[in-house]
């Protein structure tokens, strides 16, 4: 069999936009096929048509040489196609093993066989090299661990075709290497893997074939060995992108924020102290579970503070809730935009302005829709948000465009300190550049920016300083421009 999967001339339209314009994709057995394109290029839409989440308007899909018409994800799974989505969609109050076997529980005498489910989960985890507790509540796990659970769940279906949409967006380097070993073993069994990612190093390291899409259309398909990162980017964006990171201008000034002996209640954050200066971009690096996200959430009032003090411009700031943080001039872009970032059913205008309603209220307390639309239009232009209209529900945008809208939301609050947790997660190279450029503008304005990222090149490319965390504590500090990945990783493992 030459191809496990053939998608021919796939078309799909939504109100006001044609998302797919006759796209072709062919997947060979035992290969990793990278699907590349900017946010909004149609990659996820194409895969949702394959998986039965969307029904294509035109075109044909063949699996194993036979034409298929999947009515929904269950049909796709039974037909040998499994998919790990970019945005996690899990039952967060249920256990790990519940999430893996949901909808197909093993039963005995009409009741769920918990013992067998636990045994099957442990066998699966041993197969893929995961050491999580099957009885752990999935909502208590890190995003990276939850991502690995979702990958294990997809593998448990023993599908011949596995689709991974941004699988490493929350994973550290060791976890990425672990995932690559899993994919290699699947390839050897003849499985075909469609891999969506914006990380060029990953694509060139593991892919056999690369398909590029742009604006909903097929651009090219080539062997990975015949391509360079520059050529892929050029095909994706339709222009040359010389520098991945813009020049960060502006001087680092006086101390803006001081955090003294911060410890979080019910979180792995102990005795964390650091300062942030005006015009400074401060990075936070570390392995998963190091406490980076927890530090930001505690500063923003999402987590209860056990000990410690915050000082903004030399004055102590009391932050018990996010409302306190916003009023004090602190904003937080969270790691999981679907879970706690976007309001999926609301429009782009409403999502952008929801934290700034007081400024849009008139004398009678009514919101000015015209002013909200005007400011949102300006932000959408600056951030190059791709959308049919500003009244479009944000859930219909690509992940990267959703991220831009949320970033714009916090810009409207005019914060003094902007906390960014994985700000370019699932964002293409062109959009990343725009986000970096905006961060650079904040630096030039004398704002303070804190960036948590699992991508060390990103931190080294934009940060003035990088604080490294390990085991909930600060294990060291390095220069953003002069440090090496090896130096950072050594500090990251210090207390792990």
d(C-alpha 425, C-alpha 429), whole Å: 11
Q: How many helices (H) and strands (E) does the chain have?
A: 18, 22
Is residue 332 a part of any domain in this protein?
Answer: yes
pLDDT at res. 496: 59
Q: Are 344 and 413 in contact (CB under 8 A)?
A: no
Judging by DSSP bridges, how do beta strands 192-196 and 161-165 pair with one another? parallel
- Please indicate, yes or no, whether residues 290 and 229 belong to a single structural domain of this protein: no
Q: What is the DSSP string of 368-423?
A: -HHHHHHHHHHHHHHHT---S-TTSBGGGS-HHHHHHHHHHHHHTT--SEEEEEST
H helix or E strand, kind and range, residue 442: helix 429-444
64: exposed, middle or buried (Cβ count in 10 Å: 0-12, 13-18, 19+): middle
Domain that holds residue 309: 255-492
Instruction: Note whether 259 and 288 are same-domain residues.
Output: yes
Question: What is the chain's alpha carbon radius of gyration, rounded to the nearest angstrom?
Answer: 23
Would you say residue 189 lies in a domain? yes
Predicted confidence at residue 316, as pLDDT, reads 94
Cβ distance 76 to 30 under 8 Å? no
Say whether both 152 and 295 belong to one domain. Answer: no
Q: Which residues pair with 53 in a beta bridge?
A: none
What pLDDT digit, counting tens, does each position of 181-192 carry? 888 888 998 999
Among 237, 269, 291, give the residue marking a domain's end. 237
**Which residue stretches of the chain have pLDDT < 70?**
1, 16, 170, 239-243, 338-339, 426, 428, 496
- The answer to whether residues 293 and 433 belong to one domain is yes
Tell me 140's DSSP state: G
| 325: phi then psi, degrees, rounded to nearest 5 | -65, -45
Query: From residue 482, how far is each of 222, 461, 469 by CA, in Å?
Result: 37, 10, 18
Residue 463, Cα to own-chain centre: how many angstroms?
A: 20
Q: Which of 304, 333, 334 is nearest to 318 (CA)?
A: 304
- Cβ pair 284, 259 in contact under 8 A: no
- pLDDT score recorded for residue 243: 65
Domain contains 244:
no
Taking the C-alpha atoms of residue 138 and residue 95, their distance in angstroms, rounded to an integer, is: 5
Tell me whether residue 51 is in a domain: yes
d(C-alpha 24, C-alpha 22), whole Å: 7
Domain count of the chain? 2
Q: Say yes or no: 119 and 156 in one domain.
A: yes
User: Measured between alpha carbons, how far is 212 from 217 in angstroms, rounded to an integer?
Assistant: 9
> Does residue 367 sit in helix, strand or coil?
strand
Whether residues 24 and 54 fall in one domain: yes
Give the residue among 162, 208, 181 at the shortest CA–CA distance from 32.
208
Residue 249 located in a structural domain: no
In terms of domains, do 439 and 345 share one?
yes
The reply to whether 319 and 228 lie within a common domain is no
CATH of the domain at 427: 3.40.50.300
Q: How far apart are CA 184 and CA 180, in angstroms?
A: 6
Phi and psi angles of residue 484, each rounded to the nearest 5 degrees, phi first:
-125, 160
Considering the domain architecture, whether residues 182 and 265 belong to the same structural domain is answered as: no
**288 and 233 belong to one structural domain:** no
58 Cβ contact partners less than 8 Å away, ≥ 6 residues apart: 9, 10, 11, 22
CB atoms within 10 A of CB 61: 22
- 301 & 428 share domain: yes
Only one residue has tokens 């923003």, namely: 300
Q: Examine the fold and report which residue of 237, 263, 287 is the final residue of a domain before the chain moves on.
A: 237
Tokens read off for 171: 């994973």
- 37 occurs within a structural domain: yes
For residue 361, the tally of other CB atoms under 10 A from its CB is 12
Q: Are 118 and 106 in contact (CB under 8 A)?
A: no
367: Cα separation from own chain's centroid: 32
209-214 β-sheet, strand order: 81-84, 161-165, 192-196, 32-36, 209-214, 217-223
Tokens of 278: 């005006």
């Amino acid at each position: 069999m030459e191809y496990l999967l053939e998608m021919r001339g796939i078309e799909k339209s939504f109100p006001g936009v044609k998302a797919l314009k006759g796209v072709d994709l062919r997947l060979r057995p035992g290969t990793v096929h990278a699907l590349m394109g900017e946010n909004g290029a149609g990659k996820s839409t194409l895969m949702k048509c394959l998986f039965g989440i969307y029904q294509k308007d035109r075109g044909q899909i063949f699996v194993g040489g036979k034409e298929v018409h999947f009515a929904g994800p269950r049909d796709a799974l039974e037909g040998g196609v499994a998919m790990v989505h970019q945005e996690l969609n899990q039952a967060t109050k249920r256990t790990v093993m519940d999430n893996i076997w949901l909808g197909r529980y093993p039963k005995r005498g009409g009741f769920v066989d918990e013992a067998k489910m636990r045994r099957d989960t442990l066998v699966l985890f041993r197969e893929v090299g995961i050491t999580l507790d099957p009885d752990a509540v999935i909502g208590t796990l890190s995003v990276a661990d939850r991502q690995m659970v979702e990958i294990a769940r997809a593998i448990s279906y023993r599908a011949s075709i596995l689709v991974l949409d941004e699988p490493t967006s929350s994973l550290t380097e060791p976890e990425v290497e672990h995932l690559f070993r899993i994919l290699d073993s699947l390839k050897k069994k003849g499985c075909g893997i469609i891999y969506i990612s914006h990380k060029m190093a990953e694509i060139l390291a593991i892919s056999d074939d690369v398909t590029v899409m742009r604006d909903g259309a097929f651009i090219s398909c080539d062997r990975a060995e015949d391509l360079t990162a520059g050529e892929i980017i050029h095909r994706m964006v339709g222009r040359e992108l010389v520098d991945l990171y813009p020049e960060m201008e502006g001087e680092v000034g006086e101390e803006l924020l001081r955090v003294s002996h911060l410890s979080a209640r019910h979180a792995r954050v102990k005795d964390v102290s650091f300062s942030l200066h005006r015009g400074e971009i401060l990075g936070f690096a570390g392995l998963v579970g190091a406490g980076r996200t927890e530090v930001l959430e505690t500063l923003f009032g999402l987590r209860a503070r056990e000990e410690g003090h915050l000082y903004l411009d030399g004055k102590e700031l009391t932050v018990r809730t996010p409302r306190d943080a916003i009023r004090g001039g602190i904003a937080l872009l969270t790691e999981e935009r679907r879970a706690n970032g976007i309001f999926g059913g609301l429009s782009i205008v409403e999502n952008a302005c929801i934290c700034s309603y007081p400024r849009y209220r008139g004398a009678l307390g009514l919101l000015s829709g015209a002013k909200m639309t005007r400011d949102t239009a300006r932000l959408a232009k600056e951030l190059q948000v791709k959308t049919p209209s500003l009244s479009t529900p944000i859930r219909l945008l690509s992940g990267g465009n959703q991220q831009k809208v949320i970033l714009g939301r916090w810009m409207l609050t005019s914060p003094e300190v902007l906390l960014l947790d994985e700000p370019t997660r699932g964002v293409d190279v062109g959009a990343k550049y725009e986000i970096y450029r905006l961060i650079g503008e904040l630096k030039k304005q004398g704002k303070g920016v804190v960036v948590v990222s699992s991508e060390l090149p990103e931190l080294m490319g934009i940060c003035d300083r990088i604080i490294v965390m390990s085991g909930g504590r600060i294990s060291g500090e390095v220069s953003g421009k002069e440090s090496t990945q090896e130096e950072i990783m050594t500090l990251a493992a210090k207390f792990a």
